[in-house]
Amino acid sequence: MSINAEFLKKEAEMKALSIRKTSMIRYKFIVLSGKGGVGKSIVTANLGLAFSKLGFKGKIGILDADIHGPSIPRYLGYENAEVLTDGEKLYPVETKYGIKLMSASFFLKDKELPIIWRGPLKIKLIRDMITSTEWGNLDLLLIDTPPGTGDEIQGIVEYISKITGAVVVTIPSDVSLHVVKRAVSFLKTVNVPLKGIIENMSFVRCNDGSVKRPFGEGGAKVEKELGEKIIARIPMNPLLSNPIDDTNNPYEYDNLNNNEVAISFMEAAKKLIESQSGV
Ligand SMILES: Nc1ncnc2c1ncn2[C@@H]1O[C@H](COP(=O)(O)OP(=O)(O)OP(=O)(O)O)[C@@H](O)[C@H]1O
């Protein structure tokens, strides 16, 4: 067999393996943003915590495939955790929140992607994480993707069996409508249904209860055209930037009445499940 044919055969085998493995997971959501720095990783981590609280504890996994800035372990307080391996399989980090976690950050020295890495190497890292991770018994997988709508996300979509849908994260700035529309049209081209838009840093809640909009009314344009797709508006809240731990975990309280962050994420998580069950 020529080297080329052998390479193609190996690729096809890897793809078949990852499709087979991910086909056992009932719900698979990718989280993307048309542009970087809008809070995609914070949203993914918090959706994970919300799903866990909603009954998926122990059956939910997060694949942090945002290789350019893999920060979910940091937000969940597992930045220095180590992945166990038998040389072939990778075993996700089991967090105390009932979320199994696999992240590119566990493999990157200094937690940053070497600048010299080109497209094929990046896609290989993501693909290897998908094919080698032994999730065990999972009902739901959240996949945090690199910012933008480039080849790396296309690679993710090809290697995951029947993605349930996508969550697009945006901020209510003037350019957000354009960015969200680009993400929505990308999803059409890769045949992944849009399940919801999350508007992050939507507002600031002041001490007197009033609301301020740091980005002005930029979000109104998204609201006008895609309003029915918005499943949550998340406030700007400095606590969200800090790692979750025993003293900073909005989801640990049984009485969530005063916690608008946790309530919003749990509402969004419920809508994602309902959108799939056709409720
Ligand atoms: N709702 C929020 N309130 C306060 N700070 C926030 C909020 N959302 C995000 N941030 C802050 O904004 C920055 C970017 O967040 P995050 O890392 O989640 O973005 P991202 O979209 O995943 O970034 P990248 O595209 O670079 O991977 C972080 O410093 C984070 O702490």
**pLDDT averages per 10-residue partition of the chain, 279 residues:** 78 86 94 90 95 95 91 92 89 95 85 62 84 94 89 89 94 85 92 94 90 78 81 90 80 66 93 77
Residue 234 domain-assigned (yes or no): yes
Residue 2 domain-assigned (yes or no): no
Known binder of ligand: residue 39? Answer: yes
Q: What pLDDT is stored for residue 178 in this prediction?
A: 85
Q: How remote is the CA of residue 154 from the centroid of ligand 1, in Å?
A: 23
* Number of the ligand 1 atom closest to the C-alpha atom of 169: 21
Q: How remote is the CA of residue 24 from the centroid of ligand 1, in Å?
A: 31
Whether the complex's predicted ipTM surpasses the cut of 0.90: yes
pTM of the complete model: 0.92
Q: How remote is the CA of residue 61 from the centroid of ligand 1, in Å?
A: 20
Residue 139 domain-assigned (yes or no): yes
Residue 160 domain-assigned (yes or no): yes
Side-chain-side CA neighbours of 148 within 13 Å: the count stands at 8
Q: What pLDDT is stored for residue 279 in this prediction?
A: 47
Residue 269 domain-assigned (yes or no): yes
User: β-strands 93-94, 90-91: how paired?
Assistant: unpaired
Total domain count, the chain: 1
Please name the residue that has the structure tokens 């895609």.
226
Q: What pLDDT is stored for residue 227 in this prediction?
A: 75
Residue 3 domain-assigned (yes or no): no
Q: What pLDDT is stored for residue 133 in this prediction?
A: 94
Residue 1 domain-assigned (yes or no): no
Q: What is the CATH number of the domain that holds 149?
A: 3.40.50.300
Domain hosting 177: range is 8-278
Residue 138 domain-assigned (yes or no): yes
Q: Which DSSP string do the residues of the chain spell out, in sequence order? A: --HHHHHHHHHHHHHHHHHHHHHT-SEEEEEE-SSTTSSHHHHHHHHHHHHIIIIITTSEEEEE--TTS--HHHHTT-TT---EESSS-EE-EE-TTSEEEEEGGGTSGGGS--TT--HHHHHHHHHHHHHHB---S-SEEEEE--SSSSHHHHHHHHHSSS--EEEEEE-SSTTHHHHHHHHHHHHHHTT--EEEEEETT--EE-TTS-EE-TTTTTHHHHHHHHGGGEEEEPPP-GGGGSPPBTTB-GGG-S--TT-HHHHHHHHHHHHHHHHHHT-
